[in-house]
Structure 1
Amino acid sequence: MFAVDFHAHTRFFHGFPSLGRAFDPLGARLLARTAKYRGLDGVVTTNHDYYREFDLGDESFSLLPGIEVTTTKGHVLVVGPDPPERTPQGELTPEQAVEMAHERGCAAIVAHPFRNSTVREADADFDAIEVNGKGTDPAEWVERLARDRGLPLVGGSDAHYPVEVGRAYTRVETDELTPESVAAAIRDGRVEPRVDRSPSQQVLRRAYKAIHGQKGWLEHPAPEPPGLGMPPGEDQNAPPPREPETRDSGRS
Structure 2
Amino acid sequence: MFAVDIHTHSRFFHWSPGEPTWFDPLGLTLATLCARLRGLDGIAVTNHDYTYSADRRFPTIPGVEVTTTRGHLLIVGPNPPSRTEPGELTPHEAVEIAHENDCAAIVAHPFRNSDLRHVDAAFDAVELNGKNTEHVEQTRELAAEMDVPLTGGSDAHYPIEVGRAYTLVDADELTPKAVADAIRDGRIEPVVRLNRLEKHLDRLYTRFHASKGYGDGFTANLVEK
Q: CA deviation at 1:144?
A: 0.8
Question: Could you tell me how far apart the structure 2 residues matched to 1:19 and 1:151 are?
Answer: 31
List aligned pairs for 1:80-229, cutoff 5 A.
80-135=77-132, 138-219=135-216
Corresponding residue number in structure 1 for 2:34: 34
Cα distance in 2, alignment partners of residues 65 and 15 from structure 1: 21
Among 68, 71, 75, the residue aligned to 2:68 = 71
Question: 3-state SS of the aligned residue for 2:64?
Answer: strand
1:140 to partner: Cα distance? 1.4
Alignment partner of 2:6: what SS? strand
Distance 1:93 1:84 in 2: 14
Label 1:18 to 1:99 Cα distance change in 2 as closer, same or farther (>3 A): closer
Displacement of 1:17 in angstroms is 6.0
Give CA deviations for 1:14-61 in whole Å, capped at 9, x if unaligned. Answer: 2246996111111111111110111100000000000122112x1xx2
CA contact (8 A) 2:20 2:52 kept: no
Aligned to 1:224: none
Note the residue ranges of structure 1 that are not aligned, 5 or more in a row: 221-252
Please report the TM-score for the alignment, with normalisation by the length of structure 1.
0.83
User: Runs of 4+ in structure 1 displaced over 3 angstroms?
Assistant: 16-20
- CA-based RMSD: 1.6
C-alpha offsets along residues 99-124 of structure 1, whole Å, 9 cap, x if unaligned?
A: 00000000000000010110111110
Query: In 2 relative to 1, CA 181–90 (structure 1 residues): closer, same or farther, beyond 3 Å?
Result: same
Report the Cα distance in structure 2 between the residues aligned to 1:153 and 1:131, rounded to whole angstroms.
7
Gaps of 5+ in 2: 218-225
How far apart, CA to CA, are the structure 1 residues paired with 2:143 and 2:214? 21
SS in 1 for 2:97: helix
Deviations 1:198-225 (A, max 9, x none): 32221111111111111111229xxxxx
Identity, in percent, stands at 58
**Largest Rg, 1 or 2:** 1
- 1:62 and 2:59 equivalent? yes
SS of 2:21's partner is helix
CA contact (8 A) 1:114 1:136 kept: no
CA–CA distance in structure 2, aligned partners of residues 96 and 181 of structure 1: 23
Secondary structure of the structure 1 residue equivalent to 2:172: coil
On the 8 A contact 2:107/2:127 being kept in 1, the answer is yes
Q: 1:2: which partner in 2?
A: 2
Q: How many residues in Structure 1 have an aligned counterpart in Structure 2?
A: 217
Conservation of the 8 A alpha-carbon contact between 2:51 and 2:80: yes
Q: Deviations over 1:132-179 (max 9, x none)?
A: 000265111101110001000010000001010000000000110000
Classify 1:20/1:100 alpha carbon distance in 2 versus 1 (closer, same or farther; 3 Å).
Answer: closer
Distance 2:185 2:19 in 1: 39
Q: Is the 8 A contact 2:18 2:48 kept in 1?
A: no
Secondary structure of the residue aligned to 1:146 is helix
How far is the alpha carbon of 1:69 from its aligned partner? 0.2
